[in-house]
Chains A and B, each alone.
Chain A
Amino acid sequence: TQLLEQSPQFLSIQEGENLTVYCNSSSVFSSLQWYRQEPGEGPVLLVTVVTGGEVKKLKRLTFQFGDARKDSSLHITAAQPGDTGLYLCAGASAGGTSYGKLTFGQGTILTVHP
C-alpha cells in the first residue's frame, strides 16, 4: 500500500511569513499533484509535477518534485490571508493494476492571519 506522509498537519502563521509543506513516501510516483480545498468545496488542482527534480512556480507558490519521485514540497513566499485553506498532495501510482490511482496525503490546514 502506498502512503504519503504530509507535514505539518496544521500551520498557523502571520501574513508575510514564508512556509513549506512536505510530502514524503517510500514509494515512487509517476506524478505528484498539489490540490487546495476551501471549506464546503472539493479539492482544486494547483499543479502537477512529473519529472524527478522538477520545480514549478505559480506566483508565490513553488513546487518541487524529489529527484527519486518519492517526495515533494510546496513553498509559499510572503503568505497572504487568501492562502488560507487545506492543501493536499496526491501521488499517482506508477504502474501495476493501480496505474494512475491517486493516493492523498493527510493534508495541511493553513491559516494565515492578517
Chain B
Amino acid sequence: KAGVTQTPRYLIKTRGQQVTLSCSPISGHRSVSWYQQTPGQGLQFLFEYFSETQRNKGNFPGRFSGRQFSNSRSEMNVSTLELGDSALYLCASSPPGTGRDEQFFGPGTRLTVL
C-alpha cells in the first residue's frame, strides 16, 4: 500500500504570496490532519478533515485554510505569506474512526518564505 504523499516537497515563496500544499492519504483513509513544525514552536496542529468536513481546528489565523475532496485528498492554503510561515508542513492520515488508530505521516513539505 502506498504511503501518504505530499506535494510539493520543497517550496520557496515571497512575503505576501499565497501557497497551496497537497496531501494524498493512504487509500481507504478518510481522516487527514495537518501540522506545522518550526524550530521555535515545535509541532502544532493546524486542522483535521474527515469525510470532506473540518472536524477540528488549531489556533492559527484565518490565513490558514484547508479542504478535503471526495477522494480524501486534502489541500491546505496559506494566504498573504509571512516570514514566520516558513516551516515543515506535515500531513497525517488515519483509517475511518478516531485517533485510536495509528496516524501515518507524510514526508512533509518544506516551505521557505523570503
Asked whether A and B interact, the reply is: no
* Chain B interfacial positions (CB closer than 8 Å to A): none
